[in-house]
Structure 1
Amino acid sequence: MTYADNHSDTSEALPLGQVEDYLALLKPRVMSLVVFTGFVGMLVAPGTIHPVIGFIAILSIAIGAGASGALNMWYDADIDAVMSRTLNRPIPAGRLTGDDALYFGVTLAGFSVVVLGLATNWLAAGLLAFTIFFYAVIYTMWLKRSTPQNIVIGGAAGSFPPMIGWAAVTGTISIDALILFMIIFLWTPPHFWALALYKKGDYEAAGIPMLPNVAGERTTQNQIVIYSVLLTVTAFGPVLTGLVGWFYAVPAAVLGVIFSVLAVRVRFSEGREMKRRARVLFTYSLSYLFVLFVALLADVGLIKWFGVL
């Protein structure tokens, strides 16, 4: 039984959530990255989209991501209550009930998919619906608590936004869209395993089988290096397909080398020094993905809009 199963008890008065609590359910920091990568996917796709339609599409992706976050917090309220970085979330803190989060998430999910389908096309809407389902059901309800590969498989949910943006413009999925998917897919494990290395105690207390807790720190460090190298190589995919040129390739190379070096530094360290380096890698990984997609957008933009390069 999860924490969410106990929310129907009305024997005690439960507080009505404030607006900021409902906003917190949307996981705005996670949503911002999802929206940005979806936005880039839309702008680098061949063809054009009316600005109003494009805004509606991005808004739908944002709402869909928020719905996923709300459903995740509904189901994970029990483990959120024992982890230091999540115990102040609205449900474990008692500011919202599980039912509040569940109804809110389901409503937003349905709304976002229907609006995206009506505004753009049903391929994009279908991808958004599958993304919400994958994150809320496949990852949150199944993988997260059952396998140390939870992040590897579950990372697919966060990898779909560029494909959704691409599909919203073109109505298709191309090799370039799949490469953008793979970049985020390969970025996710080293990003979250770095977090898991220095938050190992939290995951252990919550009973979540993250890789460091199940397979050990050394295995996790090795896997971080492997995925970091694969990510660096895959990031050159858009160059090989001709989507972008040197204006993207140069920062992609620099960013990838730094990512791999930081991963290797984590591999060859132990104890507090390892945790410190893992935290540095985790922080850098956020900047890595953002700057990489900025470079992608800038390169395509210079060609697509200004006819240079």
Structure 2
Amino acid sequence: MSIRERVAPSQIRTTVLAYVALTKPRVIELLLVTAIPAMLLADRGTVNPLLIFNTLVGGMMAAAGANTLNCVADADIDKVMKRTALRPLARATVPTRNALIFGLLLSIGSFFWLWWTTNLLSGVLAVVTIAFYVFIYTLLLKRRTAQNVVWGGAAGCMPVMIGWSAVTGTIEWPALVMFLIIFFWTPPHTWALAMRYKDDYKAAGVPMLPAVATEKQVTRQILVYTWLTVLTTVALAPAAGWLYAAVALLAGAWFLIMAHQLYAGVRRGQPVKPLRLFLQSNNYLAAVFCALAVDSALALPTLLNL
């Protein structure tokens, strides 16, 4: 076997992994955690594997396209920040033109896939999500306001809307409440991570809240949004069963305790570990939405019917 033949498979693998990295696979996990429970709640007691599969494929394509286009727009600051310095465009392992085409193809493909396999509304919501994330958050808000993730985080809330609309063809109040759960959850989740990497944001000139405000101000905002998250989670309970309600209350209390501990530690001038809240916020969201999925799949009696 020649050297060229031995090297080729390795080069192909490296290239494929670079394109996969552009899509930010870990971010796409949010789609899996929230879209499936939304679909199950929309049609309690019924599980349609094919519809769920098609919606997830289209949703993942949309998220992958949006994330890739985000990488194209943020390539300059990704090179400066240590946390993002290994991204493909920051290391120039993928040509910018290729990444742009890749992101556009994924985005366009997501619309037609969802339109073909679910309905037009789901496809339109996917396009709106991509446009909002790229143009409103990435290009307009991210580098101009410390409240960037508050409004830009709306893009991450859309999987529940897409999932609900794929089942019902409409948007109803439970979908809006699930949207708000993620909307309020995003700031404490993101700011806790940004507290750890605030020097990166300062170096890149991105006014993320922890980079421009004191730790006391940041943790106070984290506490406010954590309370809003938990209260909104409880507001969904009437549409679900006792299992979801129990998990929402227990997990909410746990999330609030951690947010209060972070705020109290900063007020007392003690060393704090914001990454702990960041990691546990993932567990909180997963616990709540997994409970919602099980509750809906089993069609447990809703609180309104007890």
Do they fold alike, i.e. is TM over 0.5? yes
Partner of 1:39: 36
| Deviation, structure 1 residue 74 | 0.6
CA 281–123 in structure 1, closer or farther in 2 if over 3 Å, else same: same
Partner of 2:129: 131
* 2:293 partner amino acid: L
The correspondence of residues 1-309 of structure 1 with structure 2, limited to 5 A, is 18-46=15-43, 50-239=48-237, 242-270=238-266, 273-274=271-272, 276=273, 278-303=274-299
CA 304–170 in structure 1, closer or farther in 2 if over 3 Å, else same: farther
CA 141–115 in structure 1, closer or farther in 2 if over 3 Å, else same: same
Aligned residues: 289
| Deviation, structure 1 residue 269 | 2.0
Q: Which runs of 5+ in 2 are unaligned?
A: 1-10
| Deviation, structure 1 residue 50 | 4.8
| Deviation, structure 1 residue 287 | 0.8
> Does the Cα contact within 8 Å between 1:228 and 1:260 map onto a contact in 2?
yes
Partner of 2:8: none
| Deviation, structure 1 residue 25 | 0.7
| Deviation, structure 1 residue 245 | 2.1
Q: Which runs of 5+ in 1 are unaligned?
A: 1-14
Structure 1 distance, partners of 2:300, 2:211, is 47
> Does the Cα contact within 8 Å between 2:81 and 2:201 map onto a contact in 1?
yes
Tell me the percent identity.
43
Structure 2 distance, partners of 1:186, 1:170, is 25
| Deviation, structure 1 residue 131 | 0.6
| Deviation, structure 1 residue 115 | 1.1
Structure 2 distance, partners of 1:131, 1:214, is 28
Structure 2 distance, partners of 1:50, 1:254, is 30
Q: Deviations over 1:50-83 (max 9, x none)?
A: 5333312210001100001100111101111111
* 1:90 partner amino acid: P
Q: Deviations over 1:169-218 (max 9, x none)?
A: 10000000001101000000000011111111111111110112223222
TM (norm. structure 2) is 0.90
**RMSD of aligned residue pairs (Cα, Å):** 2.0
Q: Deviations over 1:89-127 (max 9, x none)?
A: 111112112112111000100011111012111111111
> Does the Cα contact within 8 Å between 1:247 and 1:299 map onto a contact in 2?
yes
CA 288–191 in structure 1, closer or farther in 2 if over 3 Å, else same: same
* 1:295 partner amino acid: A
Structure 2 distance, partners of 1:203, 1:54, is 38
| Deviation, structure 1 residue 49 | 7.3
Higher helix share: 2
* 2:191 partner amino acid: W
| Deviation, structure 1 residue 157 | 0.2
Q: Which has the higher contact order (CA 8 A, sep 6+)?
A: 2
Structure 1 distance, partners of 2:251, 2:49, is 31
